[in-house]
Structure 1
Amino acid sequence: MDWVAGVDGCPAGWIVALARLDGAAEPRIAVVPTFADVLAAAPSCAAIAVDMPIGLPERIGPGGRGPERALRPLLGARQSSVFAVPSRRAVFEADYRAACAAALATSDPPRMVSKQCYFLFPKIREVDTALRADPTLPARLFESHPEGVFMMLNGGPLAHPKKVKSRPFAEGLAERRALLARAGLPPGLLAAPPPRGAGPDDLLDAFACAVAARRIARGEARRFPDNPERDAHGLPMVIHA
């Protein structure tokens, strides 16, 4: 198990950054359509860090799940990147109106679902279904968050967003590339165009998750919160950065 993987959602499905645990080889990049394909591309990875919620509560309190409440205050102006995930019932509803109704019924105070979060529901369900289908998978698949990783690499909140008005923001991308280069990733690879089906921010987020996966495998990652709760299926609700 000499490899780790960082995974982020992208328009074509998922973008995967496979990296050697010892950094001895240049990371490999792939875009695949399903999360099953992600797992097939990383069959022997010591750790896989994915930018997607793991662990879905039956009810949601103020501020969302424990991971969101723990990480969000540390991100400064980037707090909005950590959105509150609704209950399991809401995530598994078939349409937006039903999801909002379920979220209202299972949150305190009652809260509807943002469209940004709703559009991620299919990917959240893919990850959750994979974890519940394979009892060995939770030992090597972990939730991460790129902005949390960048904050830790920077020693504090970043100065620029990665997007402005839903478009890549050059200053924000450059700031994140510099942090990833300092973490040991090849500058040339960081500056390369993203593969077809992914944006430049998706590529950098996958690399950030690969940095997190490497630190998870070494026992060096920080957890938010440090003592996580588990959902009804035993999945820990914790962001690794």
Structure 2
Amino acid sequence: MIVAGVDGYPRGWLVLRCEFDRRGSMKILGLEGHAGFRSVVASRDDVIAVDIPIGLLERSEDGPRRCDVEARKLLGKRGVSVFPAPPRRALTAGSYEQAKALAPMSLQTFGILRKVADVDRVMDPRLQARVREAHPEVSFREMPGAPREMRSKTSAEGRAQRVRLLDRLGLDVAALLVRRPSGAGIDDVLDAAAMVWTAARVSFAQARAIPADAHRDAYGLKMEIWV
């Protein structure tokens, strides 16, 4: 079974692909960049976990999404890392001022607007069977041996915590950093690796959705975060 962990990075999408056998043994197949999300899903991986909102409310007045609220509660102090998903009507905004006129949003949310739109153009309910929304910080929190107090991944201690968790799972971060494409940062590699862990859990029917009873958006997409 082949799974992919996907994280947005400055040049598009960073994709880590791994193959698992029935016993759970893992082989890293590659770490590469893709300009657009359509080429990511064209690979026909069995499961893809991506750090981006899938399933959107039409207007900010309809929100927030329950999955974002519950993920923030789960993370406690680290909940600020879960940005509110933008409403669909804001995806066409060409500037921060235009986006704010359509829906109140932070600069962080505006920063992912184009990537949210890239995914939203591709997704449909049938594709969602193998392409799941996930969040790296939620995944790191659930990994075996995760400390109760996860430091910020921008700090040296926080990065070291995440590297240790991934190394224990057989995801050799040092080797992955050597293979990363130009433009990909350390945080991008860590997040893509966390997404692989979640994708593998989905493929082995070990994952759960947040919330368990997700609502669907206007296009039939479930609004849920997998871990």
TM-score (norm 1): 0.85
Matched residue pairs, number? Answer: 223
Correspondence 1:77-226 to 2 at 5 A: 77-103=77-103, 112-132=104-124, 136-153=126-143, 154-155=145-146, 157-163=148-154, 169-186=155-172, 188-190=174-176, 192=178, 194-226=180-212
The 3-state SS of whatever aligns with 1:178 is: helix
- Which has the larger displacement, 194-203 or 48-57? 194-203
- 1:157 to partner: Cα distance: 4.7
Q: Which amino acid aligns with 1:28?
A: G
1:229 aligns with 2:215: yes
Counterpart contact for 2:4–2:199, Cα < 8 Å: yes
Q: 1:138-182: CA deviations, max 9, x gaps?
A: 21111000000001114565431011xxxxx22111110111122
- 1:220 to partner: Cα distance: 0.8
- 1:58 to partner: Cα distance: 1.9
Instruction: State the superposition RMSD in angstroms.
Output: 2.0
Q: Which amino acid aligns with 2:14?
A: I
- Which has the larger displacement, 24-33 or 203-212? 24-33
- Which has the larger displacement, 22-31 or 123-132? 22-31
Q: Which runs of 5+ in 2 are unaligned?
A: none
d(CA) in 1 for partners of 2:176 and 2:53? 25
Counterpart contact for 1:67–1:239, Cα < 8 Å: yes
Q: Which amino acid aligns with 1:220?
A: Q
Equivalent pairs: percent with the same residue? 40
Q: 1:172-223: CA deviations, max 9, x gaps?
A: 1111011112223235425647431110000010010011001111111121
Counterpart contact for 2:173–2:190, Cα < 8 Å: no
Counterpart contact for 1:78–1:157, Cα < 8 Å: no
d(CA) in 2 for partners of 1:24 and 1:123? 29
152 and 63 in structure 1: CA distance in 2 versus 1, 3 angstrom threshold: farther
1:20 aligns with 2:19: yes
Q: Which runs of 5+ in 1 are unaligned?
A: 104-111, 164-168
